[in-house]
Amino acid sequence: MQLNQFKQYLTSKLQEKYPSTEIESFFYLLIEETLGLKRIDIALQPAISIPDNVLSFLKSAVDRLEKQEPIQYIIGSTHFYDLIFKVSPNTLIPRPETEELVTWILETVSAKNEQQKNLQILDIGTGSGCIAVSLAKNLPNATIYALDVSQEALKIANQNAKDNQTNIHCIEADILNTQNLQSLFKGLTFDIIVSNPPYVRNLEKKEMQPNVLENEPHLALFVNDNEPLIFYKKIAQLAKQQLKEEGLLFFEINQYLGPQMLNLLQETGFENNLLKKDIFKNDRMTKSTVKSL
């Protein structure tokens, strides 16, 4: 089968489930991943024959796409903050909104002229390591700790750090066991703590795409409706103990719970609490400073 024929095959199989622009994106991603060909190569040589072993994988990928499995899991990677990250069903697929959180952190560090400082940074619920590794790449003198409850996620985060020529310190721990964490971090304080914890309430499942619901890890997505801020409470309490004076706490949050988050942060003892919208105009992240003693 030639490239142009495979494109027709892909389109015929998926046109009832995906918009044409997304199908085209799938085509280029799959061909670049399997044959290493860029768009310009494909445009110049549309009649290239696909080797049988590659065609077998591509047809399998189409079958998986028909079942609405995310393309990132099929090819095993995704782009985030100009880096390539391995992903698997044990990790969430990084979102553009999380890139905005990384940008906010880096802009804050830059504004304080601390880009070259040996900052101590903790990323809680690291997943694929997208936040931790992106920060490590852009703050080469910082020491980055990446915590997750999932051993499988930490393996991927550690591999992503190596693949992107950075170093992070992976920690397997349950953030809800705050007492254990305080002993774990005894004698260690941080300039910045950041987290993108589970925040989707069960009642919001109906708003989600089937490919997310059926494929991405629920452990990293959902919280009970009656305790939607449980992870934020625990992390804020830990951050109050473990942040240095004037240390910063950053969160990615549920778009519907912005005011509640600001109240929680104020009640926990943080000041200069800011709520920031994402590119889609939804409340999506917060920045707070630990109160000086």
Q: Which residues are annotated as a binding site for S-adenosyl-L-methionine?
A: 125-129, 148, 196
Q: What distance in Å separates the CA atoms of residue 282 and residue 182, rounded to the nearest whole number?
A: 33
**Token pair listed for 135:** 């920060």
Which residues are annotated as part of the binding site? Answer: 125-129, 148, 196-199
Which residues are annotated as part of the binding site for substrate? Answer: 196-199
| 195 in Cβ contact with 231 (< 8 Å) | yes
**Token pair listed for 255:** 């778009």
Strand partners, 85: 78
Q: What distance in Å separates the CA atoms of residue 41 and residue 278, rounded to the nearest whole number?
A: 35
| 225 in Cβ contact with 203 (< 8 Å) | yes
Please tell me what DSSP assigns to residue 116.
T
Q: What distance in Å separates the CA atoms of residue 117 and residue 115, rounded to the nearest whole number?
A: 6
3-state class (DSSP) for residue 259? helix
Q: What distance in Å separates the CA atoms of residue 288 and residue 240, rounded to the nearest whole number?
A: 11
**Cα-Cα-Cα-Cα dihedral sign, residues 88, 93, 144, 266:** negative
3-state class (DSSP) for residue 120? strand
**Cα-Cα-Cα-Cα dihedral sign, residues 236, 205, 95, 169:** positive
Q: Considering all CA atoms of the chain, what is the largest pairwise distance in Å, rounded to the nearest integer?
A: 70
